[in-house]
Amino acid sequence: MPVPILKQGAFLIACIQPGLSDHQLLMLEDHLSGEVERSRAEGVIIDVSALDVMDSFATRTLRSISQTTRLRGARTVVVGIQPDVAFAMIQLGLTMDDVSTALDLEEAIATLAAGRAKRHGRG
Amino acid sequence: MAVAEEDIHVPIDRDVDVVTAREKGRELASRLGFSRTDLTLIATAISEVARNIVVYAGHGELVISPAQQGERCGIAILARDQGPGIPDIGKAMLDGFSTGKSLGLGLPGARRMMDEFEINSTVGAGTTVAMRKWVR
């Protein structure tokens, strides 16, 4: 059950399904980094709204995806962290300081589009 | 009258077993009457201790069962393996301490998420983590 990656304009969207194993998360990381390269995406949106647990491994992998794609010139926004999941992450001591987050897909696209307009305006 | 719950044994050998363990734990906790927030905390704590088995010991087992103490009822989670053991438990319980395979938040994080947490480890013999949380 690999995570499907959709393309929406200059952005890639991955919706993580519940019950994803560590291995599948690492595959997503690989897959996304290949897709960013191949499609020259400027932004990546990872929808985690279906996840009822985000433990240290999931958080570390999302951080790693965000950092890797940034080095490739794309921004990552993590979308839809559930309130209970956010609370558990705080208890666990996990932070996503270096990862952009948004409440929903619409807000994530707006964030990425605004960043894009800024970059292109400057160029 | 509540239906008697059996202990749930989950063998932990691979990463997918981590997912199975936390799903079974969440199901039992839900039947025991925990709040939604507590269900997430319990599932996350299970995920951390189960992953430690996969990463550091390779094989082990989780036993998830209802707990009772006087009027209180709750959930008990026992994670045990016959892995290499932890040489310095004090260090392993510090936030951010890791031998390099993780963020080092698993054990101290699990302790914060549960009401009771006890860890015993013998180098060369294995590690046992016992955690409990009570329904509020």
How many domains does chain B fold into? 1
Assign A76 to helix, strand or coil: strand
Q: Give the closest-approach CA distance of B2 to chain A in angstroms.
A: 26
Residue B106: inside a domain, yes or no? yes
Residue B2: inside a domain, yes or no? no
ipTM field? 0.89
Residues 6+ apart with CB under 8 A from B118: B129, B130, B131
Q: Could you tell me the end-to-end alpha-carbon distance of chain A, in angstroms, rounded to an integer? A: 40
Residue A65 tokens read as 């995806």
Residue B1: inside a domain, yes or no? no
Residue A88 tokens read as 């558990």
What CATH number is associated with residue B28? 3.30.565.10
Residue B88: inside a domain, yes or no? yes
What's the CA gap between A115 and B88, in Å, rounded? 47
Q: Report the length, in residues, of chain B.
A: 136
Could you report the per-residue pLDDT of B29-40, keeping only the tens digit for each? Answer: 999 999 999 999
Specify the DSSP element, H or E, that contains A120: helix A105-122
Q: Judge contact between B73 and B31, C-beta under 8 A.
A: no
Q: Which of B95, B103, B112 sits opposite A60 (nearest CB)?
A: B103
pLDDT at B3: 59
Residue B69: inside a domain, yes or no? yes
Could you report the per-residue pLDDT of A27-68, keeping only the tens digit for each? Answer: 999 999 999 999 999 999 999 999 999 999 999 999 999 999
Query: What is the chain B residue with the closest CA to A57?
Result: B102
Residue B3: inside a domain, yes or no? no
Interface test with A, best of B35, B101, B105 (most A CBs within 10 A): B105
Q: Which stretches of chain B score pLDDT less than 70?
A: 1-3, 99-104
| Domains along the sequence of chain A with CATH | 5-122 (3.30.750.24)
Nearest partner of B49 among B92, B2, B6, judged by Cα: B92
Q: Which of B15, B37, B103 sits opposite A56 (nearest CB)?
A: B103
**DSSP β-bridge partners for residue B1:** none
Domain that holds residue B91: 8-134
Nearest partner of B46 among B72, B5, B75, judged by Cα: B75
DSSP-derived letter for residue B128 is E
B15-32 helix and A22-39 helix, angle to the nearest 10 degrees: 120
Judge: B43–A59 Cβ closer than 8 Å, yes or no: no
